[in-house]
Amino acid sequence: MFVSVVVPCYRSMKTLPTLVRRVDAALSDSVTGYEIVLVVDGSPDDTWIVASGLAREFGTVRALRLARNYGQHNALIAGIRAARYDVVVTIDDDLQHPPEEIEVLLGALTEDVDLVYGVARDEEHGAARSLASRSVKAALSHALSVPNARSLSAFRAFRTDLRAGFDQVTSPNLCVDVALSWATTRIAAVPVRMDQRDEGRSGYTLRSLTRYATNLVVGYSTTPLRVVTYVGFVVGAGALLLFLRLLWLHFTGETTVAGFTTIAGMVALFASAQMVAIGVLGEYVGRIHTAGMGRPTYLIRDRVELLPEPRPEPRQWQQRRTGLVVDQPLDRQ
């Protein structure tokens, strides 16, 4: 088995050397061949210097630097599209995903499974972060109909052929797990050990994860539009009942001249429903506008890699790439 390990890197200059050495030790005897693709996502520290140095030191390491910070999923897409081997493993740069557990993922990637998620045996995050993470998974499960969404994890292994399912997508808001769900439903999950983060802190807060869940629902589903339709029916039914009540009061002689409260309440209710509907429609129109501008998913500024050794080409080698590459002095040794 040939494996490409993709690592999105941001503020990880202290953890990358340890991560690379542990991946090297974990895979050197368990797979036929492997590479480690370090994708530096516009990190403001010296992460690129460390990553490029590791690429020069280890023949199995390739380092890519994006033109700016595009976000974790965009960096993952860049690494996945650059992967050369038949199986891709994605792993975080903070050592919370133990490289020694990669073998567990690969072992679960059987003939009838295309995608495997590593699920923590014990929750490694706090209560607030865990709640936000579960909210994101619930959004994927219910609104987007993503199989096994409650088992999603950034620690995953899948067949590289699956990237053909999103090869033509250039959206700046592409989500890896949604894109993978477009290509296969043969998904499995296995329990793995998760370690505590030793350096820095996670950039995923309760607020950012909630915003991410909202982005997923609006960006990949028509559920909000459907909800607005349902709200419109409910508001219409309420208005009809109120109108019938007013007619009853009129014919029974109980109508008073005042009526201001009822009219003000109706105006506020309908104004609120209209504003919600306009807001949701605006989100979709805005996304159509963004897609029409041709904003790229990512741009690769630099790369450092050694010349690859001759090997049998995987089936997906001729697959067309859609990621844009600019200013890429290729440092080969």
What is the pLDDT tens value at each position of the chain, 333 positions in all? 899 999 999 999 999 999 999 999 999 888 999 999 999 999 999 999 999 999 999 989 999 999 999 888 889 999 999 999 999 999 999 999 999 999 999 999 999 999 999 988 776 555 555 555 555 655 555 555 555 656 778 899 999 999 888 777 777 777 788 788 888 888 888 999 988 766 655 555 566 666 666 666 666 666 777 777 777 777 777 777 777 776 777 677 776 656 655 676 677 677 777 877 887 787 777 767 666 655 566 677 777 877 555 454 444 433 333 344 444 444 544
Place of tokens 């370090």: 38
Q: Of 236, 298, 21, 9, which Cα lies nearest the Cα of 244?
A: 236
Segment holding 65, helix H or strand E? strand 61-66
147 lies in the same domain as 276: no
215 lies in the same domain as 259: no
* Residues 216, 138 contacting (CB under 8 angstroms): no
Predicted confidence at residue 328, as pLDDT, reads: 46
- The residue count for the chain: 333
Q: Taking each helix axis from N to C terminus, what angle separates 72-82 and 176-183, rounded to the nearest 10 degrees?
A: 50
Pairwise CA distance, residues 279 & 254, whole Å = 39
How far CA 57 is from CA of 134, 207, 267, in Å, comes to: 40, 39, 69
What's the total number of domains in the chain?
A: 2
* Residues 272, 238 contacting (CB under 8 angstroms): no
How far CA 19 is from CA of 48, 111, 140, 200, 284, in Å, comes to: 15, 29, 30, 15, 40
280 lies in the same domain as 312: no
Q: What CATH number is given to the structural domain containing 155?
A: 3.90.550.10
**Domain hosting residue 130, numbered range:** 2-220+296-331
Predicted confidence at residue 108, as pLDDT, reads: 92
308 Cα distance to chain centroid = 29
96 lies in the same domain as 136: yes
What tokens appear for 279 in the block?
């807001």
Pairwise CA distance, residues 122 & 307, whole Å = 41
Q: Tally DSSP H helices, then E strands, for the chain.
A: 9, 10
Predicted confidence at residue 289, as pLDDT, reads: 61
The SS3 call for residue 249 is helix
Beta-strand relationship, 324-325 and 299-305:
parallel
234 lies in the same domain as 274: yes
How far CA 228 is from CA of 105, 273, 281, 283, 286, in Å, comes to: 41, 8, 9, 13, 17
Pairwise CA distance, residues 263 & 275, whole Å = 18
270 lies in the same domain as 128: no
Pairwise CA distance, residues 181 & 115, whole Å = 9
62 lies in the same domain as 139: yes
| Neighbouring C-beta atoms of residue 5, cutoff 10 Å | 28
Predicted TM-score (pTM) of the model is: 0.70
Predicted confidence at residue 134, as pLDDT, reads: 59
108 lies in the same domain as 239: no
How many CA atoms lie less than 13 Å away from 102 in the CB half-sphere? 31
51 lies in the same domain as 183: yes
145 lies in the same domain as 233: no
Strands (E), 121-219: 156-159, 187-192
69 lies in the same domain as 132: yes
What tokens appear for 126 in the block?
């706090």
* Residues 324, 298 contacting (CB under 8 angstroms): yes
- 103 phi, psi to nearest 5 deg: -60, -30
**Any residues with CB less than 8 A from the CB of 234 and at least 6 apart, and which?**
none
Predicted confidence at residue 277, as pLDDT, reads: 80
Bridge partners, residue 3, by sequence: 34, 87
216 lies in the same domain as 245: no
